[in-house]
Amino acid sequence: MTTCPTSAPCPDTRPVAAAPTCRRVGVVTTLTTAAALLSTSLPAAAVDGCKVLLCLAAPSWRAIPPCVPTITQLLRDLARGKAFPSCAMAGGGNAAGHAWASAPSFCPPQYTRLVETQGGPRYFCDYSGAVSVTVNGTAFTRTWWSMDGSTVTEFSPAAKAQLGRWDPRFDDDYAAWLATQQQETPAAEPSH
């Protein structure tokens, strides 16, 4: 089938049996069709907010094969400034949301870096943002992520009690950081 511009006649230089079928296609029809095709193809590539909620509430999303591509895509989308997906079926008290990290106020202390610059001290966070998950109205997990795709998950006491086991990396990193802080603080000298 040949598409002909609306103002041009359709050429018919072939024998009648092989003549192309000409159809007049207006600009509006073409744009409408393209928009319809684009709008139907975008949701297939969009991240499912309900799956994100389930994966990030798990003891380790990396250990669940169906979660890996979903969370990897979520992190790519967040790094590109795309909106955090929602889940209409989450139920009351169950939600997830994203916030950008901002050291030192919104960054765990073990991932906060203090750098002395000519303009004075500056704080940096090892992670770009965090996705917080709430289950039954209670903070459950907070997954810190960076632009390179690395993550670490902070599990709340409620999550730890419910899950029984979880990825301990956040707690281990905090314990290691805390040990260095205690070493840097000089011991008080006994008074005589």
pLDDT tens digits, 122-137? 999 999 999 999 999 9
Q: Is pTM beyond 0.75 here?
A: no
Residue bearing the bigger pLDDT, 187 or 64: 64
Going 85 to 167 to 147 to 111, the CA torsion angle's sign is positive
pLDDT of residue 29: 30
Residue bearing the bigger pLDDT, 1 or 48: 48
Tokens at residue 72, please? 């990897």
Share of the chain above pLDDT 90, in %: 64
pLDDT of residue 42: 35
Share of the chain above pLDDT 70, in %: 71
pLDDT at residue 31 greater than cutoff 70? no
pLDDT of residue 185: 58
pLDDT of residue 182: 79
What span, in angstroms and rounded, lies between the C-alpha atoms of 156 and 139? 7
**In sequence order, which residues have a C-beta less than 8 Å from that of residue 140 and are 6 or more positions away?**
57, 133, 134, 155, 156, 158, 159
pLDDT tens digits, 129-170? 999 999 999 999 999 999 999 999 999 999 999 999 999 999
Of the pLDDT bands very low, low, confident and very high (cuts 50, 70, 90), residue 92 is confident
Classify 189 in phi/psi space as left (phi over 0), alpha (psi -120 to 50) or beta: beta
pLDDT of residue 114: 95
Q: Which of 39, 45, 44, 101 is nearest to 73 (CA)?
A: 45
Query: Which residue ranges make up each domain of the chain?
Result: 2-42, 46-182
Q: What are phi and psi of 25, to 5 degrees?
A: -120, 120
Peptide bond into 66 cis (omega under 30): no
